[in-house]
Amino acid sequence: MNTTVHYDVLIMGAGLAGITVALSLPRHLKIALLCKADLNTCSSDLAQGGIAAVLDPKDHVSLHVQDTLVAGAGLCEPQQVEQILQAAPQAIDWLCAQGVPFSCEDEPKLHLTCEGGHTQRRIVHVADHTGHAVMVTLQQKLKQHTNITYLPEHSVEQLLGENGRCIGAKLRDVAQQSMTILAKHNVLATGGMGQLFQYTTNPTTATGDGVALAWQAGCRVANLEFIQFHPTALALQNANGFLISEALRGEGGILRDPKGRRFMPEYDARAELAPRDIVARAIANEMQQQQAAAMYLDMTQLPAAFIQQHFPAIYQHCLSLNLDICREQIPIAPAAHYACGGVVTNSMGQSDVVDLYAVGEVAYTGLHGANRLASNSLLECVVIGRRVAECIAHEAAWKMVPAYPQSSHLVLYPRQHVTDQAKFSLQLLQQQMSQHFGIQRDFVHMQQLYQQVLNWRQKFVQENKTVPHVIYTALLMLKSALQRTESRGTHFNRDCPYLNDVPQLSVIEGLVSRPLEQCCAI
């Protein structure tokens, strides 16, 4: 039985991006806010570091812009970057007004910390559990909004369209019951795609659904090859991708090899405070050269009281795993963390499809380029989330999304032998993506994996079964990478380790007119 329900606004995803949109909309609108699991299962809740904003009189937005452009390795959209970062103080004001208990230096002055890639202390935070504190606060606010219907444990199967507009979505709950929601305004806030990899800091729900859904609905996607690997995930048994915040390095943490040697100055003059892509590759390189299971983050030179005060959640979590970070070095290794690309939008979150918005990690706004600057992601969620709500509230005219040229060059090697007997499973896809689409890549292995995923897709079609979203998302990611004949930001290809002279986006046109059953390849 398929139930049909009508709403003014459908928000798909209840992390910081989705919940910001919901809370910022007028209360006369009837809103459906859905998520695949529950409100606590999202990347926003796991974010430790903080939110970047220029609040110190000694700092300036132009410096924040410059740091973002440097980290983005030539692929940021400067105008978008400036607009979003200029709105950062207002985003912090809004969060403060909601009651987020940010750490203070001297009440009411907020404490600012520093993270890799930033040249100033500009990270607003709640100790070392900023995301959790923000989400708990905003979830409490949700209870006061009777116009918002919360739908946990619902997955989006397909976006619905009519005359070039998005008019809702088909859903399915954990009991496999179907539901159709028809809505005038539709917002994708589905998060990232870390669960396409074997080792990730992302929650189990981060399988890239929004990218596949939007592409099938006709939206362009861009820069999907740029997957940021966080340099310092906790490398202990049962750690489950627990993140060791970049703020630890910002406060003086030192990266060492198993023999105690500090290695980052050999890779970059900024040492531990270099952008994430540089630090992650350095750690991965040291692990490979030394055949080591982990490198180490050393905090033991800092006072124990300082560590326990500034990083209480990390300290307690590590202690629960019998690791005292005040006395012992922290074993760390890179893990898939953040998708810098996504569904192409303009500065108001509008996509190529009318009445379909994208906000948060699922979207490509031009802010992150080839490598996201630390603590710019939660900021983007709030700034663009508030703009999306403003557009909907004022019935803003649909504006043209930036007309990026489609990528045309696709590197294809002779068809590689693929073991077709390999039956699709998410676990197998994760293993293959980590092996052939990790921190270091090459054309032959990416092409081989591309063919394997195509074969999986074809089998689903031949058996008249629904193709999982992860298959389309993986194909789009691999195609983006196969179009790039250079190494830039988080994308490092052994076959072409140098930068091209002219930075170019990897843009893939949306699937518009062909039924999916007739689309044999991407």
The residues spanned by each domain of the chain are 230-335, 426-518
Residue count (the chain): 522
Taking alpha carbons only, the member of 166, 116, 145 closest to residue 352 is 166
What pLDDT band is residue 408 in, cutting at 50, 70 and 90?
A: low
The pLDDT value recorded for residue 255 is: 98
Residue 375, by phi and psi: left (phi above 0), alpha (psi -120 to 50) or beta? left
Determine which of 68-72, 178-182, 389-393, 513-517 has the lowest per-residue pLDDT on average. Answer: 513-517
Please list, in sequence order, all residues whose beta carbon lies within 8 angstroms of the beta carbon of residue 100, skipping any fewer than 6 positions away: 126, 133, 134, 137, 138
- Provide the pLDDT for residue 426: 96
pLDDT per residue over 161-176, tens digit each? 998 899 999 999 988 8
The pLDDT of residue 401: 87
Instruction: Give the C-alpha separation, 66 to 82, whole Å.
Output: 9
What's the pLDDT score for residue 512? 64
pLDDT for 443 equals: 95
Average pLDDT over residues 242-268: 94
pLDDT at 517: 35
User: What is the biggest distance separating any 2 CA atoms in the chain, rounded to whole angstroms?
Assistant: 65
3-state secondary structure 250-319: HCCCEEECCCCCECHHHCCCCHHHCCHHHHHHHHHHHHHHHCCCCEEEECCCCCHHHHHHHCHHHHHHHH
Residue 127 has pLDDT above 60, yes or no: yes
pLDDT at 516: 36
pLDDT, tens digit, 9 for 90 and up, residues 76-115 = 999 999 999 999 999 999 999 999 999 998 778 999 988 8
Catalytic residue among 276, 386, 441, 484: 276
pLDDT band at 521 (very low <50, low <70, confident <90, very high): very low
Euclidean distance between CA atoms 37 and 23, whole angstroms: 20
Distance, CA of 429 to CA of 178 (rounded, Å): 27
Domain covering 426-518, topology:
Methane Monooxygenase Hydroxylase; Chain G, domain 1 (1.20.58)
Helix (H) or strand (E) holding 67: helix 61-71
Q: How far is CA 316 from the centre of its chain?
A: 26
Q: Residues 6 or more apart from 273 whose CB is under 8 A from it?
A: 114, 115, 116, 117, 118, 249, 250
Tell me what pLDDT residue 421 has.
Answer: 57
Q: Is 372 a catalytic residue?
A: no
Alpha-carbon distance of 211 to 150, in angstroms, equals 23
pLDDT at 413: 64
What mean pLDDT is predicted for residues 299-320? 95
Q: What is the pLDDT of residues 211-222, one digit of tens each?
A: 999 999 999 999
Mean pLDDT of the chain: 92
Contacts of residue 469, defined as CB under 8 A and 6 or more positions apart, other chains included, come to 207, 208, 209, 212, 213
What's phi and psi for 114, nearest 5 deg? -120, 150
User: Could you tell me the pLDDT band of residue 513, with boundaries at 50, 70 and 90?
Assistant: very low
Do residues 63 and 120 lie in contact, with contact meaning Cβ atoms separated by under 8 Å? Answer: yes
| Mean local confidence (pLDDT), 134-154 | 96
Q: How far is CA 97 from CA 17, 100, 137, 170, 380, in A?
A: 17, 7, 11, 35, 18
Q: How far apart are CA 311 and CA 486, in angstroms?
A: 38
pLDDT at 416: 58
List pLDDT tens digits, range 12-41: 999 999 999 999 999 999 999 999 989 888
Q: What is the dihedral of CA 58, 377, 115, 248, to 10 degrees?
A: 140
Per-residue pLDDT, 427: 96
What pLDDT shows up at residue 514? Answer: 42
Give 230-335's CATH code, choosing from 3.90.79.10, 3.90.700.10, 3.50.50.60, 1.10.150.530.
3.90.700.10
Band of pLDDT at residue 46, cut at 50, 70 and 90: confident
Q: How confident is the model at residue 422 (pLDDT cuts 50, 70, 90)?
A: confident
Q: Where are the alpha helices (DSSP H) in 99-221?
A: 130-142, 209-217
21 within 8 A of 388, measured Cβ to Cβ = yes
Is pLDDT at 440 greater than 50 in this prediction?
yes
Asked if the model's pLDDT at residue 444 lies above 60, the reply is: yes
Q: What is the pLDDT of residue 515?
A: 39
